[in-house]
């Protein structure tokens, strides 16, 4: 390779690296109630306008401990398998009657042999037949770009290819059942979004 060719080669690889950096967009989201109080455990996800090559869904786990489901809210991509390890000394009987996923894990201790596959998008509400106070939510989404808000109501969707997205936000305490806030957002770099949800304050569950 002569000098000018080597220079061209260097320039091209530099451009490749630069274009990769530019392509990695993100959305920083803050979710509050109508009075501006931050909402923890809101599910935030971005659906690309142009469907990307599908990414295999990651598995998840919802533990039972202290007669609670941990975590309270889980978000998975459609097709994900979820295991339900029982780490209590009492037995649990986990079920969901939700159309998004109807299933039952009859009275068991330890880890059930087979995980549950959440093969349809939507929201599944989980309960336990023995312990009425036990509740958990699984939001099944058709995109690999999803997360949950932290205690400050903040969430970051990172590594998004540039383009147009439907940014969707859901919270289990929202007044209108299964309401999902939707806004269109164009991702070119580090984007910001604010979402206000009409929630029932008395429906908030303390996880700490």
What are the residues binding Cu ion (CB under 5 A)? 92, 128, 130-131
Nearer to Cu ion, 120 or 131 (CB): 131
Nearer to Cu ion, 19 or 89 (CB): 89
Distance of closest approach, residue 84 Cβ to Cu ion, in angstroms: 11
The DSSP code for 40 is T
The DSSP code for 76 is E
Nearer to Cu ion, 90 or 194 (CB): 90
Nearer to Cu ion, 80 or 126 (CB): 126
Q: In what order do the strands lie in the sheet with 181-187?
A: 146-148, 43-48, 163-170, 181-187
Distance of closest approach, residue 108 Cβ to Cu ion, in angstroms: 10
3-state DSSP of 90-144: CCEEEEEEECCEEEEEEEECECCCCCEEECCCEEEEEEECCCCCCEEEEEEECCC
Distance of closest approach, residue 160 Cβ to Cu ion, in angstroms: 38
Nearer to Cu ion, 40 or 98 (CB): 98
The DSSP code for 176 is S
Distance of closest approach, residue 204 Cβ to Cu ion, in angstroms: 22
Q: Looking at the DSSP assignment, which residues form a beta bridge with residue 92?
A: 108
Nearer to Cu ion, 93 or 196 (CB): 93
Distance of closest approach, residue 68 Cβ to Cu ion, in angstroms: 9
Distance of closest approach, residue 107 Cβ to Cu ion, in angstroms: 9
Contact 208, 177 (CB under 8 A): no
């Amino acid at each position: 390779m002569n000098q000018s060719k080597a220079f061209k080669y260097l320039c091209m690889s530099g451009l490749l690296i630069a274009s990769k950096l530019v392509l990695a967009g993100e959305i920083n989201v803050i979710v509050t109630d109508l009075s501006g109080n931050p909402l923890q455990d809101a599910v935030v996800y971005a659906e690309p306008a142009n469907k990307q090559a599908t990414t295999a869904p990651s598995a998840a786990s919802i533990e039972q401990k202290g007669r609670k489901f941990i975590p309270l809210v889980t978000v998975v991509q459609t097709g994900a398998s979820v295991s339900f390890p029982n780490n209590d000394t009492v037995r649990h009987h986990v079920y969901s009657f939700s159309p998004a996923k109807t299933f039952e894990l009859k009275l068991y201790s330890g880890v059930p042999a087979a995980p549950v596959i959440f093969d349809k998008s939507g929201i599944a509400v989980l309960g336990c037949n023995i312990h009425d106070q036990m509740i958990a939510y699984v939001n099944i989404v058709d995109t690999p770009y999803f997360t949950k808000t932290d205690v400050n109501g903040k969430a970051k969707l990172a590594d998004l290819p540039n383009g147009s997205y439907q940014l969707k936000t859901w919270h289990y305490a929202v007044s209108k059942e299964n309401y999902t806030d939707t806004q269109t957002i164009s991702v070119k770099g580090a984007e910001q979004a604010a979402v206000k949800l009409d929630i029932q304050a008395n429906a908030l569950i303390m996880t700490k």
